[in-house]
Amino acid sequence: MVVGLMALCGCAAGGGRIAAEGPVVRARATEVGMASYYARAHDGRPTSSGRIYDEDELTAAHRTLPFGTRVRVTNLVNGRHVVVTITDRGPFRRGRIIDVSRRAARELDFLRAGTTRVRIQTLSG
């Protein structure tokens, strides 16, 4: 009887986790919306986190995710994806969910278009 209660208590203490067959996995947050990228004028300037923005790094701005969070950004137009680290706040234009660095936009192949529809998936944070 005690073993049965201990097993039930262990299952109830998920704390944001999803139990599945096999190992316990942490749930990932996913958002879908529009992405844009930083203008060249921001290169070398400090971000909200205090880190200096470098257009050649794989970084991004998000309104609420903690600094240092890594997210997979997938371009829903062409299927290309990249992993970036959140280092800044934004974007502040209606309808946009993330601003990525110039390098990330190049790897996602939307430099010419300026914006694209993306899915972002939290990997750590």
Q: So what's the pLDDT on residue 28?
A: 61
Q: So what's the pLDDT on residue 9?
A: 39
Considering its fold, how many domains does the chain have in total?
A: 1
Instruction: Provide the 8-state DSSP code for 29.
Output: -
Tokens 């969070």 — which residue? 69
Q: 84, 90, 87: which is closest to 123 by C-alpha?
A: 84
Q: 36, 104, 103: which is closest to 72 by C-alpha?
A: 104
Structural domain harbouring 102: 28-124
Instruction: Give whole-number Cα distances, 50 to 19, 99, 104, in Å.
Output: 38, 17, 20
Q: What is the pLDDT along the chain (125 residues), one digit of tens a residue?
A: 444 433 433 443 333 333 334 443 344 689 999 999 998 888 999 999 999 999 999 999 999 999 999 999 999 999 999 999 999 999 999 999 999 999 999 999 999 999 999 999 999 76
The CATH number of whichever domain residue 57 belongs to comes to 2.40.40.10
Q: Is 16 domain-assigned? A: no
Say how far apart CA 88 and CA 61 lie, in whole Å.
Answer: 4
Say how far apart CA 114 and CA 35 lie, in whole Å.
Answer: 8
Whole-prediction pTM = 0.76
Instruction: Give whole-number Cα distances, 94 to 33, 66, 91, 101, 111, in Å.
Output: 11, 21, 8, 19, 20
CA angle at residue 26 from 24 to 32, to 5 degrees?
Answer: 140
Q: Is 18 domain-assigned? A: no
Q: Is 14 domain-assigned? A: no
Say how far apart CA 93 and CA 53 lie, in whole Å.
Answer: 19
Q: So what's the pLDDT on residue 20?
A: 39
Q: Is 12 domain-assigned? A: no
